[in-house]
Amino acid sequence: MANLNTQHKQNNTYDAIVIGSGMSGGWAAKELTEKGLKTLVLERGREVQHMKDYPTTNKYPWEFEHRGQIPEDVQKENPIVSRCYAFREDAQHFFVKDTEHPYVQEKPFDWIRGYQTGGKSLLWARHVQRWSDYDFEGPARDGFAVDWPIRYKDLEPWYAHVEKFVGVSGNRDGLPHLPDGEFLPPMELSAVEEYFKSFVSKNYQGRDVIIARCAHITGNEEYYAKQGRTLCQHRVLCQRGCPFGGYFSSNSATLPWAMKTGNLTLQHHAVVHSIIYDEAKGKATGVKVIDANTKEETEYYAEVIFLNASALNTNLVLLNSTSNRFPEGLGNDNGLLGKYIAFHNYRAGVSGEYEGLMEYTTEGRRPTSAYIPRFRNLFKQETDFLRGYAAGFSGSRGIERDLSDVGERLEKGMISPKYGTWRVGSHMMGETIPKEESRVSLDPKKTDEWGIPLLKVDVGYDDNDEKMVKDYLEQVTEMFEAAGFTNIRTRDDHRAPGLDIHEMGGVRMGKDPKTSLLNKWNQLHAVSNVYVTDGACMTSTSTQNPSITYMAMAARAVDHAVKEKGK
């Protein structure tokens, strides 16, 4: 029997284990395998192969039974995920349904998840704005969180490294608070967006309107052909999975690249129960896994472990990784594991119309929008709330058809479309403040079908968020009015946190082991061979879409881990 156990351990031993195959996990796998490490990637969901397993990607609207809508009975069964904008008939198979992995809401929180190869990298909105020192220095300047242990200079070369491989379309705008990157040709602003950009530049010092940087290939075809990817086709069907690889996902880029090295093993239906800690060695030695279907337990072993299960699941895994040394969760000497969760506030929006520029129209599709970088409290504190917000902005002319008649006149109205007035809209992307009371924890009684405690989520809005929403609505409304937009309407939909799908924190980075869980290399302070490089590591949230920062951190952390291993 001892020989059998020894053989089992040998067969299940790797140089590195990556938990999660999504945005950051895919990058950890790519970097580890390229550097020669035999790497096991554990994915709790099913296998989704690039191109092969995108069942709706080439369907026409009339080929869907419900014309893209989710039936009422499905919505009633799944009230949480049904609130997500991308949960539609063409992509519902990439989402976790409400009953498939329940959790406990101490306060309303919409936890949106995707359990399959690539995770939510198949579904993301693909905006990739870099952080600057104004973001990394924010906590130290404002005192709302612990100081980040890194600055922009630490991450800048890794942003560049990631962007070149991902393929980022963008314009070099020269903004100190939104650094330029390794950009492919930018997409175009519409006529009304160009007008608003010019108007804001002339009339509002320190405010800008740019084309958003997005993870779509718009040039350098020969380079991306080596990845098996080609130019973005502007189909705007991204949530279905892109057979062209025109936008970045783990499935189309990092995981296939890692597989080519011969060093990758990808294990599906692998629900991670916990990380195994060896008290004699003082380090983590492996991962305990439960087969999602058979419920069989297996242990895998490695010298280095990357935890990239997505922010809240990463917290869950660490909280459930208990031992005599760490009774409250792996690395949790200070009791802060699971605390200081934050997110992005997407509650508010402003819309309007513009009656000018009628000689211009919009044609075709564009998989991104314009973007208004943060301008509040950027260089100095100027409001009664901390931090600030960025905003999306878009403007287009819709096609209108007269369907009010019957017979030949109806037919004529249908085949004689006319462009309507310009419609403009903006949505808020506000930074929320990490607070100790914003936390996740394990339910002491309830477990899921794999015997793992359910996650309790206790995260909500505060007075700072309310003040920020009010300011956003006032400022954008005033800008719209000044620009000559009419029929302006504001909204605050009071959506629950989580629907932004940008949850962060719980395993934050910092300089002091007394006030943080991770060091400047994304290592657990107390367990140096465990790295966390997904959203759980974030000390604060800033306003930018966070995925490009996760990817850069993952690549940087792997470089450090391999160098440490070499020592």
**What is the radius of gyration, based on Cα positions, of the chain?**
24
Share of the chain above pLDDT 90, in %: 92
At 463 the pLDDT is 98
Domain-located, residue 148? yes
Whether residue 548 sits in one domain with residue 474: no
For 559, half-sphere exposure in the C-beta direction (CA atoms, 13 angstrom radius) is 14
Given 446, 470, 496, the domain boundary residue is: 496
At 410 the pLDDT is 80
pLDDT (tens digit, 9 = 90+) per residue, 534-553? 999 999 999 999 999 999 99
pLDDT, average across residues 173-187? 98
Whether residue 359 sits in one domain with residue 309: no
At 3 the pLDDT is 55
Whether residue 142 sits in one domain with residue 191: no
| Residue located via tokens 């206790």 | 458
At 1 the pLDDT is 45
Count Cβ atoms within 10 A of the Cβ of residue 404 and give its class: 0-12 exposed, 13-18 middle, 19 or more buried: exposed
Domain-located, residue 180? no
Domain-located, residue 179? no
Whether residue 377 sits in one domain with residue 293: no
pLDDT (tens digit, 9 = 90+) per residue, 261-300? 999 999 999 999 999 999 999 999 999 999 999 999 999 9
Q: Which domain holds residue 98?
A: 2-170+215-343+434-459+501-566
Whether residue 288 sits in one domain with residue 355: no
Whether residue 552 sits in one domain with residue 405: no
Distance from C-alpha of 9 to C-alpha of 13, rounded to nearest angstrom: 6
Whether residue 233 sits in one domain with residue 192: no
Whether residue 259 sits in one domain with residue 391: no
Give the total number of structural domains in the chain.
2
Element (H, E) at 320: helix 311-320
| Residue located via tokens 């878009």 | 394
Domain-located, residue 175? no
Reply yes or no on whether the pLDDT at 446 is more than 90: yes
Distance from C-alpha of 90 to C-alpha of 240, rounded to nearest angstrom: 6
Paired sense of beta strands 453-458 and 439-447, if any: antiparallel
At 88 the pLDDT is 97
At 265 the pLDDT is 98
Q: Residue 240, Cβ neighbours under 10 Å: how many? A: 21
More confident residue, 92 or 399: 92
Given 448, 476, 496, the domain boundary residue is: 496
Distance from C-alpha of 334 to C-alpha of 317, rounded to nearest angstrom: 17
CATH number at residue 13: 3.50.50.60
- Return the bridge partners of 302, or none: 14
Reply yes or no on whether the pLDDT at 414 is more than 80: no
**Mean per-residue pLDDT of the chain:** 96
Does this model's pTM top 0.85? My answer is yes
Whether residue 34 sits in one domain with residue 64: yes
3-state secondary structure of 89: coil
Whether residue 516 sits in one domain with residue 398: no
Distance from C-alpha of 433 to C-alpha of 435, rounded to nearest angstrom: 6
Whether residue 547 sits in one domain with residue 413: no
pLDDT (tens digit, 9 = 90+) per residue, 454-480? 999 999 999 999 999 999 999 999 999
Domain-located, residue 57? yes
pLDDT (tens digit, 9 = 90+) per residue, 417-444? 788 999 999 999 999 999 999 999 999 9
442 neighbors 316 (Cβ within 8 angstroms): yes
Distance from C-alpha of 40 to C-alpha of 234, rounded to nearest angstrom: 35
Whether residue 367 sits in one domain with residue 355: yes
At 163 the pLDDT is 98
Domain-located, residue 384? yes
